[in-house]
Amino acid sequence: VLFGVLKRVSIYETMVEGAKEGFQLAITIIPFLVVVLVAVGISKASGLFALFSGFIQPFSSPIGIPAEAVPMALIRPLSGTGAFALMSELIIKSPDSYPAFVASVMMGSTETTFYVLSVYFGSVGVTKFRYAVIAGVLADLAGMFSAGIVSSLWY
């Protein structure tokens, strides 16, 4: 506000204009959001996450990620809300358990990479985001591995 006053900018009008742009962006994002949420729901309901969890669990256990936290690790790059729901189930089931602890640490150590790419890049028209996918997936894997290792040391 002080900067706006110093630059002699109409603060109220600028905020209204920004709110209009934000609302238009929200309308643009909604279709991308619906597609991501439907895909996550289908994957969960079809048992795809359970299948992948069974496959990944032998590799995740040695680094401290229990089988109960694997579905959350799988869904986290796709949907923050879906990952939060799975983490909440673990916490409600057993709040002081190791799987709930790992899921909580993992939630804070990773990002909704594919959600961000599809929604935000899609809404502004970015079509070439190959390197962003690679960087995002590597960052998510580093966050997941770190969450497992750090949790096993602290718990």
DSSP string covering 48-96:
HHHHHHHHHHHHHGGGT--GGGHHHHHHTTT-HHHHHHHHHHHHHH-TT
Burial of 93 (0-12, 13-18, 19+ CB in 10 A): exposed
pLDDT confidence band for 25 (50 / 70 / 90): confident
Q: What is the pLDDT of residue 143?
A: 96
Q: What is the pLDDT of residue 31?
A: 83
Question: Is 10 domain-assigned?
Answer: no
Question: Is 5 domain-assigned?
Answer: no
In single-letter form, the type of residue at position 144 comes to M
| Number of domains into which the chain is organized | 1
pLDDT surpassing 80 at residue 123: no
Question: Is 98 domain-assigned?
Answer: yes
Mean pLDDT of 28-46: 80
pLDDT confidence band for 136 (50 / 70 / 90): very high
Question: Is 108 domain-assigned?
Answer: yes
Question: Is 13 domain-assigned?
Answer: no
Mean pLDDT of 120-131: 82
Number of residues written out for the chain: 155
Domain containing 84 equals 31-154
Question: Is 21 domain-assigned?
Answer: no
pLDDT surpassing 90 at residue 92: yes
Cβ atoms of residues 113 and 137 within 8 Å:
yes
Instruction: Tell me the pTM.
Output: 0.70
pLDDT surpassing 80 at residue 32: no
Q: What is the pLDDT of residue 88?
A: 92
pLDDT surpassing 90 at residue 105: yes
Give me the torsion for CA of 130, 133, 138, 139, rounded to 10°. 130
Question: Is 130 domain-assigned?
Answer: yes
DSSP summary character for residue 126 = -
Mean pLDDT of 58-71: 92
Taking the CA atoms of the chain, what radius of gyration do you get in angstroms? 19
pLDDT surpassing 80 at residue 137: yes
Mean pLDDT of 73-86: 87
Question: Is 16 domain-assigned?
Answer: no
Q: Alpha-carbon distance 37 to 80, whole Å? A: 10
